[in-house]
Structure 1
């Protein structure tokens, strides 16, 4: 289910919606079609984790000793030698710069001895192939990682063998990552971050994590400060492949105290585990395959479960967000109530700024559809910097396009045109093909009562 939910969350729908650092950066390609050059991000600014080390210890163990299916892992596994990465297939132009940037972050922030090699055998081979080739092998996957093979051509015969069984792995020596070469630059980069993090470290995802790519809600798309801490701990000298959960747990307090001393001063929150029923409901609501009515019913189920469990964290907010997203076409007013409720839960705890930015895009779109330009500007304003800081070009472009429509409604036409033009370079990175950028422009322009129907 990786990389399935976020694209749905970014869609604005008929009348209402995947990263950041310093101010925008360098252009990656020249203008080829009348659109501005594609933009990319400058130096990363990851936010350090703001949780207790006791919470992080529990997160580390649950991430490292369990698969996404819920199956327990008996042994800790990682690479024990310096790690080489090679690229095969037909990579898109943005893959190499994004990979080089990520490798630099892994070396400097996570302290992992990893490097890209030009040719020859490598510990990790990243093969760039078409989406169709990936889906022929895993129909629901946008990208994936497999142990003990190097090319997609090996996967069909190896997929049911012991060699590719993660639960039998005690030390990692060779893995392959398969990325699409015909998706948007952001989608390729997001896959790169998620799958390389899994290739190097934890194999599980936890919905209870508000600030991590190790979370199937896909709100975060590039490795966060929390993720880098987890990976740094994963490669701590006190640990080694083959250890049991108990052996790792015994060493973790010392490791985390050394790597994250501030975490020893914070009180633990002990967030509750996520019921399988809620996970299934969310994946039905926002994943592929279900009909519209089934999606909405699944979202209602997720909200009911969140209420029953008594959540007041980001998972409660995400439940309402999903229900709002899936209610827009049938009951826009109800959908807006759900987005307002989602935002109320998101703002109860720190670290949910990116979640709130997604919600703001929905609320602002609705305000624009009602001709309330000033309200939309107030909703959008605080979240532009958030989208930049988290390097989410698709979200940043969406917010900027919405801001341009709100400025038009407020009579600030010249300013609107400048913002709209500035959004296009980010949209080329976030949405990819020129037709997709123009389609997003038309979609958001159509929200405004000045320009067309908004129903």
Structure 2
């Protein structure tokens, strides 16, 4: 299931101490009152994986033969033959187009036969329901996928038995995905990508992966080039239902050589496993339920574990990022230091361009709060194209709003207004409701010292 970790961790919110949100400029207020049409991304531009096939072999085996809880799976399962998908419930307007785009990618990039149908039965039922309905069943989930049912009304009774137990499956024939119909278009799409990928493919998530939706850090929200390779291998003709871990492991090297020949020429990195203690600390820090002091203590613990493990990869960076995110309200200087460390470790880890964009958004916000417009512009500039390439409208809108504030600080007011207006079309997809778009604009506007009581 997709955790409700993203709004807590990655959105800019409460970036630094500053003036009240209502102290936005007249220009920003006027802009927010004239919201343009929602923008949409064009053709996807996934980046092929650049890692060693030996690393990908290890990734595949851990994704396929282990659940997120750490429990081992003994049997390989997938759909055999063409996969059919139907949509029920009350789907939001964007669900249909986003589902069609995703299925086209699965057919063309992963080689999976998958089609949408309108009949009463399909292999996969996507039911659009309210967030409240989802959380009545799973309070910590934004969306989830379940085997052997087709309606949310069946879940309460079915979850007590073996019917919905993934470890009991011998093959996949019928599954249901439950998505929110009252979330932002981007959140609905993000759920769609992650849950459909798990419905047809691996069930596990690994924090070790820097370039995948199969990672609970939720940095990547649409299927990546790595993910499509994993799914293509998952449906390779050499594999079939009922195979053991050893049987799959024996056939996988030849499959990866055929599908990703360049990966045979790359040296493996052999990143160490992620200890459960670090995972628990991150989940406490960024998941629901903990008090602010508990969150900060857990984030500190994640940093300490990462340091003790000697990590210098994206997990070390994410530890600092989480602590920076949770320190903003109480200690902006400390937060800025940890965002700087996150940026440092992300920069030395391959495949983390999107992670770097998130770190840059926070560092740019701190620069704006200090009136340093040119520094903010320099930090933002390399990452706008990254956010667009990864189809992250919320991040793209945030970066553009920050750029507009930085342009105002440097006296380029008309350019700032144009950039601010451009941000709103993306914000409508990324943040959804008009009030949410306006709230984000006011939040970012309030960072600038020009927008204080005397600004």
TM-score (norm 2): 0.95
Q: How does 1:48-447 map to 2 (within 5 A)?
A: 48-447=48-447
- CA change 1:453–1:44 in 2 (3 A) is farther
The residue matched to 2:8 in structure 1 has which SS? Answer: helix
Contact 2:79/2:173, CA 8 A, preserved across alignment:
yes
- CA change 1:413–1:179 in 2 (3 A) is same
The residue matched to 2:217 in structure 1 has which SS? Answer: coil
What's the CA shift string for 1:99-130, capped at 9, x where partnerless? 00000000000000100002220000000000
2:4 maps to 4
Contact 2:125/2:150, CA 8 A, preserved across alignment:
yes
Q: CA deviation at 1:97?
A: 0.2
How far apart are the structure 1 equivalents of 2:95 and 2:453?
39
What's the CA shift string for 1:398-435, capped at 9, x where partnerless? 00000000000000000000000000000000000000
Contact 1:65/1:76, CA 8 A, preserved across alignment:
yes
Contact 1:13/1:329, CA 8 A, preserved across alignment:
no
1:16 maps to 16
What's the CA shift string for 1:311-366, capped at 9, x where partnerless? 11000000000000001111111110101111110011221100000000000000
What's the CA shift string for 1:198-252, capped at 9, x where partnerless? 0000000000000000000000000000000000000000000110000000000
Q: CA deviation at 1:15?
A: 4.3
How far apart are the structure 2 equivalents of 1:192 and 1:206?
19
How far apart are the structure 1 equivalents of 2:183 and 2:450?
33
The residue matched to 2:86 in structure 1 has which SS? Answer: strand
Contact 2:15/2:362, CA 8 A, preserved across alignment:
no
The residue matched to 2:2 in structure 1 has which SS? Answer: coil
The residue matched to 2:84 in structure 1 has which SS? Answer: strand
Contact 1:145/1:175, CA 8 A, preserved across alignment:
yes
How far apart are the structure 1 equivalents of 2:246 and 2:317?
34
- CA change 1:222–1:453 in 2 (3 A) is farther
5+ residue gaps in structure 1?
18-31
How far apart are the structure 2 equivalents of 1:85 and 1:130?
20
Contact 1:77/1:241, CA 8 A, preserved across alignment:
yes
Q: CA deviation at 1:157?
A: 1.1
Contact 1:127/1:176, CA 8 A, preserved across alignment:
yes
How far apart are the structure 2 equivalents of 1:208 and 1:392?
21
1:29 maps to none
How far apart are the structure 2 equivalents of 1:15 and 1:429?
21
TM-score (norm 1): 0.95
The residue matched to 2:67 in structure 1 has which SS? Answer: coil
How far apart are the structure 1 equivalents of 2:3 and 2:375?
32
- CA change 1:33–1:452 in 2 (3 A) is closer
Q: CA deviation at 1:160?
A: 1.3
1:452 maps to 452
How far apart are the structure 2 equivalents of 1:303 and 1:157?
41
How far apart are the structure 2 equivalents of 1:338 and 1:326?
10
How far apart are the structure 2 equivalents of 1:58 and 1:87?
35
The residue matched to 1:163 in structure 2 has which SS? Answer: coil
Q: CA deviation at 1:170?
A: 1.3
In the comparison of the two structures, how many residue pairs are matched? 440
The residue matched to 2:47 in structure 1 has which SS? Answer: coil
Contact 1:3/1:191, CA 8 A, preserved across alignment:
no
- CA change 1:7–1:418 in 2 (3 A) is same
How far apart are the structure 2 equivalents of 1:277 and 1:379?
33
Contact 1:16/1:363, CA 8 A, preserved across alignment:
no
Contact 2:11/2:395, CA 8 A, preserved across alignment:
no
Contact 1:134/1:143, CA 8 A, preserved across alignment:
yes
The residue matched to 1:164 in structure 2 has which SS? Answer: coil
How far apart are the structure 2 equivalents of 1:184 and 1:293?
29
Q: CA deviation at 1:3?
A: 3.6
Contact 1:205/1:214, CA 8 A, preserved across alignment:
yes
The residue matched to 2:141 in structure 1 has which SS? Answer: coil
Q: CA deviation at 1:2?
A: 2.2
RMSD of the alignment, in Å? 1.4
Contact 1:321/1:338, CA 8 A, preserved across alignment:
yes
How far apart are the structure 1 equivalents of 2:123 and 2:432?
30
How far apart are the structure 2 equivalents of 1:452 and 1:78?
57
The residue matched to 1:216 in structure 2 has which SS? Answer: coil
Q: CA deviation at 1:5?
A: 1.8
